[in-house]
Structure 1
Amino acid sequence: MDHGVGATVAGRYRLLGPLGRGGMGVVHEAEDTRLGRRVAVKMLTAVEGLAEDGEARDRFLREARALARIDHPGVVTLYDAGVADGTPYLVMQVLDGLSLAELVKRTGPLPVPVVALIALDVVRGLAAAHGSGVLHRDVKPSNIGINRGGHVVLHDFGLARLAGERAITRTGELIGTPQFMAPEAIRGVTPSPAADLYGLGACMYLMLTGELPLGDATVDYGAIVDRALGDGVPKLCERSSRVQGAPAHLLDLVDRLCAQDPADRPQHTGATEELLERYADGGREALAALLAGQVRDEAVRSLGEQTAVAEEPEYDWEEAVPHPRAAPADPLHPPTLSEATRRIVLSSMTPQSALSRQREAVNLVLRGELQEAAQMLAAVVPVCLSSLGPTHPTTLISQYWQAVCLARLGAGDKAVELLARVNRHVDQRRGSER
């Protein structure tokens, strides 16, 4: 089955481009042509080849229905599921923002209230899932999304269960990430809710220290597994001097969540929630401020890139379109939506479609969806500059709205600089028309 840009899944979901790639498959941004909305479509290519009426297909759909029953703001919403030409797929809400992996990569260790708030939201999402009889089975930073409002959403629930043994056989690998995978799951023991809590503890370790729980990711896969099954995650209580300002009770919680024996981990989420609530005061606002800062910085960086683009020769569309299978993603740090959206736009846009894309971005600005608008304009403007020129009306209007975005994101100085540039080109255009 064709999973490239422009392909349609199940006669309904038109693929716009890849958002990320992992061991289980590829996630695409897509348009639901029936309802006219953006969605994320995950193609589980690790288990492609399912018969239309086989037992594996029936089990997949049963598990998908179980996922759809989870109704909680901290759990990604599943809209649809099915099998298209033998490949299972899931249709979910698009998670705008950053993953926890990307946030820590950019900022380093997070403040205690932010750590407690993120962990609290994850615990509540897991509690809702466990109450519906669903285990996550792969709690890790790249599966924890955070939007600009500071809201935390878990995704990729239950993929190990959805895929079953078939995926392990086909890929020859563990389903999961050893850095954040409970030791019993690595050994092949049927996981319990305690395995998901282990993943949470490992994520908290990363948030507090800025370090991977089992050491450098460049260490070979086997060595990471040996550490996971051997000494395990280092005790934070024994290295409290490395975690500035973190209360002992919080460090102790991380150590208990990361215990090798599942029986030694907290058995109920209630006490864990209560402890996290104690330290999460102000965390939502602080997290939202961190995300807003990252969005603003990304918008400013993209503005700087346009100066070089404006001086380049006319855009070579054949050379510029990235191959959808190029450059496999880092499994711990998948592409952010910003990077993915820019790639999507550049791979599907022509000079002729720049105006319609610009109008989409303006509508996003007017609706207050500034992150998505900034990402769209960051892709549209370089194309306009290189293919239409710096004084073309579409270029100038796109840059004007990009300046509006920058101003609303808090980068007023950059907005003023860009508006001054736009005004110079407007004057130049008027002069040439006289």
Structure 2
Amino acid sequence: MPAPFVPELFGDFLLVQLLARRAMSDVLVAVRLGDRSGQTFVLKRPVLGERASGRAAQAIQREGEVLAEVRASALPALAAHGELAGLPYVAIEHVRGAPLDELASGAEPMPEGAVRAAALDVARALAALHAKGWVHGDLAASNVMIDETGEAKLVDLGLARRAGEARPEVAGTPGYLAPEAALPGEASATSDVYGWAVVVAECALGRRIFPEDDLASAGARGEPPRELATWEARVPGLLAALARDASRRPTSASIVQGLEALALDREALAARVAAHRARAPEDRTSLVRLPAAEARGSSEKILPPALPMPAAEPAPRPAPPPRRSSGVYLAVALGAVLLFAMGQCSARLPPRNPRGSISVAGVVPPRAHVEVDGEKVALPADGRLELRSGEHTVAVVLPKGTRREYTFRVRPNEHVVLVAPKKGATKDDEEAEVREP
């Protein structure tokens, strides 16, 4: 059984969940320290020991470069990118929803308006990339996320290249690669358009149209399914985009123009996302904050996270940090972070819990205590205290009677974590920190 994930500080981000562990990189959920909006991000970084010149590091650096230059509603928003300890990282918008491959395959074909909605969003993302001279390079249904409102975003730009840039090797997803991309050559926007058509065809038919296991098969691929002929009028440019001759394919901009005048059905897409999430319940949290508390005369302070978020097995409580002799401001931030079950998750999440819970990411001074709904409580050894669903009041009672409390609502399977704010928070900051879930 894998070890539970331990939250850690990474630059100005707090990493709270591992979404996926790939061969040479990690994909994590993060919150930004000092951000009062409660927004979560997806942060990608190479694994420890990866060289800055390695493939994973180069892909992460390239994704940050592309998203810094291309801004579009159908692409994830860039939060930050750069280097830390000599290795690149990128933090992007965390899209809450489901990957398109899990919504399109193994089910009934999507309604016509839903197919057009997904097709238009992906085409808009491509048009924005192509207008800036970029080629995505890995158009696949698994790289399209549909959010709760039925809008699609094109993700994973690590294989992106400048149009005309040499492709020294074949890369992409089997079954979506354009035939000409099965051999080394130059990056071309027409290859993206072909991948777009394969993704749209999968939505229309409810199955993979080229169920291949390797990239080399793209070069000897046959004709697309005949039943797609009925979709040409419903999704203009679909069949032309699947032409083996790249010069006959439409541009992404012309595809957008043809789809914008047609009726869309985002509610059907949103319904599929909701049904998918109902079949795979997730561990929910949301971000709220407690006001900071002043501890006059205290020689202790709550430090940044020293406790893991408990997973399948409770993690042991680490030893408390050394005492500080100078007077400090004591602050507590009550954070509950939205954790998502995605198709790339490396471990299965626990079943939905009708109760919620809290834990403390730090060390409470010996002379302080925590109260829940007016009663003093002792946190269990694993730091996680279960609460019934509903409204609760949590209070941190500090030495000499200083007390700060906050009332909030716990939802089923929601986990609330007490963490410390930045050093030097002022009284004015305390009031501004309060946020509802």
TM range (shorter): 0.5 to 0.7
TM-score, normalised relative to structure 1 = 0.60
| Greater strand proportion | 2
What does 1:10-409 correspond to in 2, within 5 Å? 11-22=11-22, 25-35=25-35, 37-45=39-47, 48-50=50-52, 64-105=64-105, 107-161=107-161, 174-215=170-211, 220-221=213-214, 225-226=216-217, 228-232=218-222, 234-236=223-225, 238-240=226-228, 246-250=230-234, 253-266=237-250, 268-279=251-262, 281-298=263-280, 320=313, 336-337=341-342, 354-355=357-358, 394-397=387-390, 402=411
Who is 1:362 aligned against?
none
| Residue aligned with 2:135, SS | coil
- In the alignment, is the contact (CA less than 8 A) between 1:17 and 1:344 conserved in 2? no
- 1:156–1:60: structure 2 CA closer, same or farther, 3 Å change rule? closer
Which AA in structure 2 matches 1:276?
L
Q: Distance in 2 between matches of 1:319 and 1:175?
A: 36
- In the alignment, is the contact (CA less than 8 A) between 1:181 and 1:199 conserved in 2? yes
Q: Distance in 2 between matches of 1:43 and 1:402?
A: 31
| Greater helix proportion | 1
Structure 1 stretches of 4+ moved >6 Å: 56-60
Question: How far did 1:148 drift?
Answer: 1.1
Percent identity of paired positions between Structure 1 and Structure 2 = 26
- In the alignment, is the contact (CA less than 8 A) between 2:116 and 2:264 conserved in 1? no
Question: How far did 1:62 drift?
Answer: 7.6
| Residue aligned with 1:19, SS | strand
- 1:94-132 Cα offsets, whole Å, 9 max, x none, are 111111112124644211111111111111111112222
| Residue aligned with 1:287, SS | helix
* Count of equivalent residues: 317
- In the alignment, is the contact (CA less than 8 A) between 2:114 and 2:268 conserved in 1? yes
Q: Distance in 2 between matches of 1:260 and 1:338?
A: 31
Question: How far did 1:181 drift?
Answer: 1.6
- In the alignment, is the contact (CA less than 8 A) between 1:8 and 1:14 conserved in 2? yes
| Residue aligned with 2:91, SS | strand
Who is 2:374 aligned against?
none
Question: How far did 1:74 drift?
Answer: 0.8
Question: How far did 1:259 drift?
Answer: 2.0
Question: How far did 1:401 drift?
Answer: 5.8
Q: Distance in 1 between matches of 2:48 and 2:189?
A: 25
| Residue aligned with 1:201, SS | helix
Who is 1:8 aligned against?
9
Q: Distance in 1 between matches of 2:49 and 2:141?
A: 24
Q: Distance in 2 between matches of 1:200 and 1:107?
A: 20
Which AA in structure 1 matches 2:272?
L
- In the alignment, is the contact (CA less than 8 A) between 2:104 and 2:207 conserved in 1? no
Q: Distance in 2 between matches of 1:66 and 1:142?
A: 19
- 1:171-218 Cα offsets, whole Å, 9 max, x none, are xx8431121122222211111111111110110121112222322x6x
Q: Distance in 2 between matches of 1:402 and 1:106?
A: 32
| Residue aligned with 2:52, SS | coil
TM-score, normalised relative to structure 2 = 0.60
- In the alignment, is the contact (CA less than 8 A) between 2:135 and 2:192 conserved in 1? yes
Larger Rg: 2
Q: Distance in 1 between matches of 2:342 and 2:23?
A: 19
CA RMSD between the two structures: 4.6
Q: Distance in 2 between matches of 1:269 and 1:153?
A: 15
Question: How far did 1:86 drift?
Answer: 4.0
| Residue aligned with 1:15, SS | strand
Question: How far did 1:293 drift?
Answer: 3.6
- In the alignment, is the contact (CA less than 8 A) between 2:178 and 2:191 conserved in 1? yes
- 1:324-382 Cα offsets, whole Å, 9 max, x none, are xxxxxxxxxxx944995996799xxxx9x92359xxxxxxxxxxxxxxxxxxxxxxxxx
Q: Distance in 2 between matches of 1:117 and 1:161?
A: 26
